[in-house]
């Protein structure tokens, strides 16, 4: 069985992935908001994804290295609460943010998944 070779870290690929996830999350929010009360959880989930990806693209937290991205994500995970616009349920939103940050920490650690830029993941 052939061994998997480790991918080299490419900050441009990660940055592109984050940018596309922001766009996809905003589109998902629009769809969820049109769905009314039944899709408020989906809207909070998409809002959490937008917030995390947007924060990773700002200023000094831009993911130039795996360590820098992991450190920024862990700092975000250490927050007590998260404030963002358009949130229906703060508790649910906090839970979605934490789960999405954990997902990104795992992706950064393994450097896997950043090449998948399809809208739905």
pLDDT tens digit sequence for 42-68: 999 999 999 999 999 986 556 788 898
Mean pLDDT of the chain: 88
DSSP-derived secondary structure for the chain: -PPPPPPPP-HHHHHHHHHHHHHHHHHHHHHHHHTGGGGHHHHHHHHHHHHHHHHHHSGGGS-SSHHHHHHHHHHHHT-S----TT-S-HHHHHHHHHHHHHHHHHHHHHT-STT---S--
Give residue 115's pLDDT: 84
The residue-averaged pLDDT of 71-88 equals 91
Pairwise CA distance, residues 93 & 27, whole Å: 17
pTM given for the model: 0.87
């Amino acid at each position: 069985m052939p061994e998997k070779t480790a991918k080299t870290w490419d900050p441009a690929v990660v940055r592109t992935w984050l940018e596309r996830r922001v766009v996809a999350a905003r589109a998902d929010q629009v769809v969820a908001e049109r769905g009314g009360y039944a899709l408020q959880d989906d809207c909070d989930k998409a809002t959490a994804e937008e917030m995390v990806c947007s924060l990773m693209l700002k200023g000094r937290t831009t993911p130039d290295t795996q360590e820098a991205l992991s450190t920024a994500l862990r700092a975000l995970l250490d927050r007590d609460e998260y404030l963002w616009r358009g949130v229906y349920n703060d508790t649910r939103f906090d839970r979605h943010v934490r789960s999405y940050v954990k997902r990104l920490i795992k992706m950064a650690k393994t450097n896997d998944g950043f090449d998948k830029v399809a809208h739905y993941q």
